[in-house]
Amino acid sequence: MRMLVALFLGSIFFLPSVAEAAKKERKSPLTNAPVIRRRLELRDKRFEIGVGAGVTIGQDFYNALLVMPKLAFHFNDWISLAGVGGFNIYPGWKSSFNQDVNSALPDTGGPTIKSPYKPEAAWQMNRIGYVLAGQIEFIPLSGKIALLSSLFSYFDFYILGGAGVVNLTGSGTARPEPSNGCPDSGCNGKPTKTTQLTINGGLGVHAFVARWLAINIELHDFVYKNNASGRDVNGDKVVDNRDLEWTNNWVCSLNFQVFMPFKVRISR
């Protein structure tokens, strides 16, 4: 009888602790498993290289049509390092504001501090020659999208930031002859020809048409100092670096990017 009582009491206090220990020993098959299984790692440890075209938006006097190569390396699926370039192949593309200004200026006559004559104003303006920039790309959003319930494409959105240089050159207009009231043409202004450091910020998106090929759209804001008119901006009757002002210069580009290695790694 005493033995039965002892066994009964032991089962009450001992068996639950054994069961609890066994429960702790068991592990779920999903422990440490990835959130998404068998996922295509479209960016992780891959290079991308390509070329496309870009256009400036809202330039003062001369727009730019740019050939824009891009090379990038993705350290993982959400961060990468890239270099981009932009080379102006249409330097004579005047903005509508440029045309409005020239139509309002006289063809001849002595230039003043506030109002040059038409040939001098055209000579003093500048334009973008080329842009070279580096950028870090952070990808917070990626996935798969369906178009018309039949076409499927992988995509990613990213934020970019970095720095670079921009080359500013003259308008390409010939320097005019000296005018009345001004002993030397350009005495009240001159083209700003320089290479400036620029801040590079913006947004981008990849749309994969194949596992190794993507359409890439980027919107850049290149922030740098410039004097696009080449005139005396601050009114001190001298055209120099003190007339330079911080400017926002928007560039939208469309590229076709090849991803290498061509074979995509699939997660476990």
Distance from C-alpha of 112 to C-alpha of 164, rounded to nearest angstrom: 36
* Average pLDDT over the chain, rounded to an integer: 84
With contact defined as beta carbons under 8 Å apart, do 18 and 11 qualify? Answer: no
Residue 158 has pLDDT above 60, yes or no: yes
Q: What confidence tier does 42 reach under pLDDT thresholds 50, 70, 90?
A: confident
Q: What pLDDT does 233 receive?
A: 85
CATH architecture of structural domain 36-266: Beta Barrel (2.40)
Convert 228-247 to b/e letters by CB count within 10 Å (16 or more is b): bbbbbeeeeeebeeebbeeb
pLDDT digits (tens, 9 = 90+) for 171-230: 999 888 766 556 555 567 889 999 999 999 999 999 999 999 999 999 999 999 999 999
Beta bridge partners of 82: 72, 135
Average pLDDT score over residue span 233-261: 92
Report pTM.
Answer: 0.81
**Sequence letter at residue 240:** D
pLDDT on residue 30: 46
Cβ 86 vs Cβ 254: under 8 Å: no
Q: How far apart are the first and last CA of the chain?
A: 59
pLDDT at residue 45, as a whole number: 93
